[in-house]
Amino acid sequence: MKCINPFLFLLAAANIFGVVVGLLVYYPQIAASNPLLWVFIPDCPLYVLLAALFYAGLLRNELLRTITALGLLKYGIWTLFALFSYSGYFLVDWFGWLLVIEHIGMSSQFALFSKEFDKRYLLVGVGWFLLNDFADYVLGVHPFLPSNDLGGVVAFTAFLSLAVPAFALFAGKRIGEEWIVKQAKAFLGL
């Protein structure tokens, strides 16, 4: 049995903490929703959980690795956008700022997954994230936002569904080859 790097274990544990916090936040919405839509509701906890499973060596599938990398970046950025767009609602106490820190960490984990991504998997990612956007804004499973005027949020979300895979296509390999990222990956045993 392979021994897990202690720092990778701590990163996986921090991600599991984030999953628990996220599921507590999303629980009322999940409980009130059709079970067929559950996979579309807890966006951030889903990708953080998948990352933790990769860190623990429990997942190795390249398609899931690509989707995980894209999801970490897309939803990390999206959540920061939402938190700061509605800062008068979300950033009024310590919990809102905890979410900011968690989502900066979440989106930065994209670098640990960065490499030359398979173009086919990136296209699957575009389809998956556009389907998720459809579920969020047409089927109504997006996270709570303190406004009914969601035009800008919808546009930004769709933009991210296209821009993040494009970014991964053109910058994924370069990011994965950066000295600091290589050092972090080597240190973590990735």
Does 1 score more than 60 pLDDT? no
Does 186 score more than 60 pLDDT? yes
> Number of helices (H) and strands (E), helices first, in the chain?
9, 0
150-179 pLDDT, tens digit each: 999 999 999 999 999 999 999 888 887 777
Of 166, 158, 156, 159, residue with least CA distance to 122 = 166
pLDDT at 2: 61
pLDDT at 4: 67
Rounded to an integer, the average pLDDT of 114-125 is 94
CA–CA distance, 41 with 149 (Å, rounded to integer):
20
Answer with the residue of higher pLDDT: 89 or 67: 67
pLDDT at 84: 94
Residue 118 one-letter amino acid: D
pLDDT band at 3 (very low <50, low <70, confident <90, very high): low
Rounded to an integer, the average pLDDT of 131-145 is 94
Does 28 score more than 70 pLDDT? yes
pLDDT at 171: 87
pLDDT at 175: 80
CA–CA distance, 97 with 152 (Å, rounded to integer):
23
Does 5 score more than 60 pLDDT? yes
Q: What is the pTM of this model?
A: 0.91
CA distances from 36 to 31, 124, 136 (A): 12, 20, 13
Positive or negative CA dihedral for 108, 25, 154, 52? positive
- Residue spans of the domains in the chain: they are 6-188
